[in-house]
Amino acid sequence: NLVERTIPIPRKRKSALSGAKLLEMVETSLDNDKAEDIVVIDLAGKTEIADYMVIATGQSSRQVGAMAEHLRQKAKDAGIADVAVEGASQCDWVLIDAGDVLIHLFRPEVRDFYGLEKLWTVPDVVAGTAATGTQAATHA
């Protein structure tokens, strides 16, 4: 007699800090740690897993690890109990799930290889042309 078990799909977790406030804390921490090429992607309407995705670069595994640890500690201090961190053993690419904000920290060559921000910022395609949100230059 088999009993069917349903595993719920993970949904966005609410945290003590939410959305914009958490994003502000993340950006401040990364700025203090001298992160480079910080990109914030608004995920509203694209997915339910988080409100924002932050992608940043550290120049070495040591810097990436330090940034990850600082973010984890600041999130914990802000009352976010269940911060998930993946990739901290190698520090080439560290993912931090802080609930409303997902943070990806990379070494430069790893970030270039995966091109993660390109996956989330694909331009809209309209009538065979790419609409990137900027006006196309017209030549008269």
Residue 128 C-alpha from the chain's centroid: 30
CA 132/CA 122 separation, integer angstroms = 8
Average pLDDT value over all residues in the chain: 80
- Per residue in 54-90, pLDDT (tens digit) is 999 999 999 999 999 999 999 888 888 788 999 989 9
Structure tokens at 83: 């911060």
Question: pTM value?
Answer: 0.75
Buried b (16+ CB within 10 A) or exposed e, 71-106: bbebbeeeebeebebebeeebebbebbbbbbbbbbb
CB 92 within 8 A of CB 64: yes
